[in-house]
Structure 1
C-alpha cells in the first residue's frame, strides 16, 4: 500500500518534541498572536474599528489604575512600585488593586490588555513578558506551590520614578483643589473610559488622574457605581480646573460650542457644566440641610391638630377628650360604611426611622413592638408606605383601634432603629431621637387617601368594618347591623345562582 504519513498527523507528532521557545520571539518586540484574524472585508472592518475603540478604553482604565492619584491613595500599590525592580510590577496585582477594573462586568484577560497597550502609539505604559524555567513539579508530577513559577506579564509607567517623587510630596488639599464636579455629561460618554476621553478632549490635556461616580440615594450598599450624568474628575494641575470652570460655567450655562468640535457640541446639547469640588461640597451641605429642614417641617405640621369640628360630628365630638380606644370605637364606627371614601383614623405617620431600612423590616418592627404575639398581630398592619432613603413613612392600619394601639406603644416605650435591618428596635438613650408615631386626620388624611387607588381604598374600608364588627363596635349606631343584613341578603342570591 501507500507508504506515507499525512501532514496533519506529522505536525501533531512533531510538536511535543520542541523543548522551548526562544525568549527573543516572545519578548515585547511582538505582541502575542490574536485569537482570530479579523476579516478585512465586509463586516470585518467594523469589528476591527470596535476593537480599536475598546483598546483605548482599556488603556484608559490601566492608566487610571496607575495614575499619580491612585499611587497616592493606595499605599500598598505605591509600596509595590517603590520596592519593585525598576518599577515593574505584576499586571495581575494591578488588576486586583484597581477599583476601575474590578467593577467591570467581565474582567479582561491579560493578553487583551497587553495587545491594547502595544497597539496604542505613545502609550505612557509599557509591558513585558516573564518566561521562567520549568518547574520541578513538571518532572515529578507535583503541584506547584507558587504562581510566580509560571511566569506572566509585568507593567510599569514610563515615568515611574518621577511619579513616585511627585506622589510623596502631594497632599489631600492639593488633590481636592484639582478636582471638579461635572454635571449633565453627554449620554455617549457616561462610562469611566467615556468620561476620561471626554474630559481629556475638553481640557486639551490627557492628565486625568481620577474619576469618581458619586452614589445615588437610591443605590444599595455594595452596588457597582454607575454614571447617572455626573462625576468627580481629578486632574494633575490647577490650571486645567480653572480652564474648565471658565469654559463651562455653572451659571449661566454655555449655549454655543467651538466650530468643528463634536464633543463640545454634545456638551452644549446636554447642558454640560463644571463646578469646583469645594463649591460642590458647600452646595451638598446646603442641600442636605434643606432636605432635613423639609422633613422636620413635615413632622411639625403633622403634630398640628385638625381644625375644630362642629358638635354632632359623626367621627368625634370636639368636646370629647376621652382617649380610651374602646370608648372611641363606636364613634369612629359611625363613619364607617361601604360608601365611605376611606377608613378614617387608620392612617399613622412615623418619623425617625433608619434611612437604609426597607418595608419588610419596618413591618416586622411595628408589628412586634405594638402588637407582640396578639392573635390579630399579622392583620393589624395592612401596609407600610415607605420610600428608600427617607426617615419617615406612613402606615395603613386595618382599624382605628390598631392605629391607636400602635401610637400608644411607641409613645410609652420609645425605641430607636440603629441599623437599616433592625426589625426589633433598641431602647432610646441620650440624645437619640426615638421613633415617633401619630394618627393622621383632617385634610392631611384626606389628601393622602386621594392618592391611593380606589380599589385599595374600598378594601381598606371593608377591612376596617370587619374589624370593628368583630370587636362589637356595631352596637353603637346600627351601621354594623346594617352591614350584617347586607351580607345576609347576598347569601340567598348566591345560592339561587348556584341552583
Structure 2
C-alpha cells in the first residue's frame, strides 16, 4: 500500500513558444545620439525604461560605450604613455591582466561620476561579436581561514576577472618602437564637435565614423579634453566642443585634415560609403574642422603671447606718471605744487554731477583663490590703514570665488593711493584662504600687488555698477576731500544693501 497518493498525476501542458521580432542592428552613430533615440521609445517621461526593442537597444548602446572606454584604457597610446600598465601586460601570463587594475589605471574611467562594476564591462565585452578583447574569470581555492570565518580573510576577494587584447603581443612590439614625435604626428585637434557627441565615448564613435577604419581594432587611440583656464587642479575634464584625438596612423590624420580643413569650412556632404553620411551631416551642421596638433601648438603659443601683450598694455595704461621736479625749486616746494595740482584736478572731476569717483578704484592681484570678501576687506584695511582704522575707508570688495584678483572701491583717491603704497612698501602674501593678516613675502613668492585703475578701464568698470551706488560713491569722495568724511559711511551697508535697502526688523508681539 502506498503511503502517499498524489492528487493529480497529469503533467502540465507546455505553453506554446512566444514569437519575438528580431532586433534591428544599431547604426554606427555616436552613443549620445543613440541614447536620445532610445529614450524616445520609452514612456512619456523619456526615461528609457521600456521592454522589448527599446530596452535591448539601450543595453547595446551602453555596451558600446563601455567597450570604447576599455579600448582607450588598453590602446597602444595607453600602453606607451603608462609605463606601469605596459610592464603589467609584458610580465603577465600570455597578456592576461586583472580587469580591476586596468580600470584603476584608466584616466577616462576614473573621471566617471558613477563607476560601473567590473561585471558590467565583462558583460559588454561578451555581448559584442567582434570585440578586440577577451575576458575570463579567475577563481582561486579558498584558504582554511576562510572556512573558519576569519574576518580579515572574508573581506578579501578570492576571485576576479582578467582581460587581454587579442593582439597583445603585436601591440607590445609596436609600443616599444614608438616615439613621442610619432604620437604627436598622429594627433589632431578637433573643434566644433557635434553636440550629441560631446562625451568621451561620443567623440570615440564620431571620430571612428569619420575615419572609416576597416581594421580589426579601433582606429582611435586616445582622446584628450584640453582644460579650461578657469578649471581648478583635479577637476574632471569636460568637453566644450573641442578635443585632441590620436589615431593609429598618419594616413588617417592627413585624410581628415584634407576633408575637414580649418579654413574654409565645408558646407556640402557627399554620400560616402561605410555609413559616414550621418556623422558627416552632423559635422557640417556644427561647422566641424580639424587641425594638426603641431599647427595647434603654434597657434596656442601665438595666442598666449598676444594675451600677455594685452595684459602688459593694460598694466602700462593703468600706471600714473609722476611730475618731474622743476629747476630752481626745492623738492618740498615741488611736492607741494604737485599735491595742489592733483587735489585741484580731483576736485574738478569730483563734482556732484560726475558719473563716478575718479581715482577710487584699485585692482589687486595674487590673492588666495579660496578666500572671501570678508577676509579680504579685513586684510586690506588692516595692512593699509591699521587695525584700528574705520571700515568706511574701503567701501566694497568686488571679488568672485575661485579668482586670484579683485577690485576695491575706496572712499577717496587718497585712500586708494595709500593702499597701493602700503603693498608696495610692505609686500605680503596670503597663503591661506582665511588669512586676514597676511605674511611677509619670501624669496620666490608672488606678493599681493595693487594698482590704481584709471582711463578707459576705470570707465568700463563703473559703467557696470548701478547708478545709485555710483552717486553715493561720488558724494562720499567729495565729503572725504572736504574733510567731512568722518560721518560718511555710517548707516550705509554694502552695494547690495544700497540697491535693495535694509529690511525693517520685525517687532515681537507681546504675549
Structure 2 length normalisation: TM-score? 0.73
Q: 1:84–1:275: structure 2 CA closer, same or farther, 3 Å change rule?
A: same
- Equivalent residues of 2:138, 2:159 under 8 A apart: yes
Residues 361-396 of structure 1, C-alpha deviation per residue, up to 9 Å, x if partnerless?
765654453234233258625123569677x65321
C-alpha distance in structure 1 between counterparts of 2:401 and 2:157, whole Å: 54
Q: Is the 8 A contact 1:359 1:384 kept in 2?
A: no
* 450-459 or 58-67: bigger deviation: 450-459
1:383 aligns with 2:397: yes
The equivalences for 1:451-466 within 5 A come to: 451-461=464-474, 464=477
Q: Are residue 342 (structure 1) and residue 348 (structure 2) matched?
A: no
How far the C-alpha of 1:405 sits from its partner, in A, is 1.2
Q: Which residue number corresponds to residue 258 of structure 1?
A: 270
1:163 corresponds in structure 2 to: 171
**Cα shift readout 1:78-117 (whole Å, capped 9, x = no counterpart):** 1111111111111111111111111111000111111100
Is contact 1:182–1:231 with CA below 8 Å preserved after alignment? yes
Structure 2 alignment gaps of length 5 or more: 7-41, 43-48, 324-333, 490-511
1:353 to 2:366 alignment: yes
Kindly indicate whether the alpha-carbon contact (under 8 Å) linking 1:415 and 1:425 is maintained by their aligned counterparts in 2.
Answer: yes
Pairing 1:294–2:305 present: no
2:287 aligned to which of 268, 271, 275:
271
Q: Displacement of 1:468 after TM fit?
A: 6.1
1:437 matched to 2:450? The reply is yes
For 2:26, the equivalent position in structure 1 comes to none
Distance across 1 between alignment mates of 2:229 and 2:111:
19
1:188 matched to 2:196 = yes
In the alignment, what sits opposite 1:202? Answer: 210
Q: Distance in 1 between matches of 2:424 and 2:186?
A: 51
**SS of the residue aligned with 2:223?**
strand
Question: In the alignment, which of 60, 71, 78 is matched to residue 86 of structure 2?
Answer: 78
Show the counterpart of 2:499: none
Shift of 1:255: 1.4
Aligned-pair distance for 1:230? 0.3
CA drift of 1:268 comes to 0.7
Partner of 1:121: 129
Residue deviations 1:265-302, cap 9 Å, x none?
A: 11011111111111101100000000000010111112
After the TM superposition, which residues 227-266 of structure 1 pair with which residues of structure 2 at under 5 Å, given as runs?
227-259=239-271, 261-266=277-282
Q: 2:424 aligns with which of 411, 414, 431?
A: 411
Q: Any gaps of 5 or more consecutive residues in structure 1?
A: 6-37, 308-317, 481-499
Deviation at 1:67, TM superposition (A): 0.5
Q: What corresponds to 2:98 in structure 1?
A: 90
1:373 paired with 2:373, answer no
SS of the residue 1:150 aligns to: coil
Contact preservation (8 Å) 1:183, 1:230: yes
Q: Distance in 2 between matches of 1:168 and 1:146?
A: 41
Q: Which moved more, 1:329-338 or 1:372-381?
A: 329-338
- Number of residues of Structure 1 aligned to a counterpart in Structure 2: 426
Q: Is the 2:73–2:102 contact (alpha carbons within 8 Å) kept by the matching residues of 1?
A: yes
What SS does structure 2 have at the residue aligned with 1:128?
strand
1: CA distance, partners of 2:310 / 2:83: 42
Q: Is the 8 A contact 2:146 2:154 kept in 1?
A: no
- 2: CA distance between counterparts of 1:323 and 1:237? 71
Query: What residue in structure 1 maps to residue 411 of structure 2?
Result: 398
Q: Which residue of 2 aligns with 1:111?
A: 119
Question: Is structure 2 residue 220 aligned with structure 1 residue 212?
Answer: no
TM-score normalised by structure 1 residue count: 0.74
Query: Relative to structure 1, is the Cα distance of residues 368 and 266 closer, same or farther in structure 2, using a 3 angstrom cutoff?
Result: farther
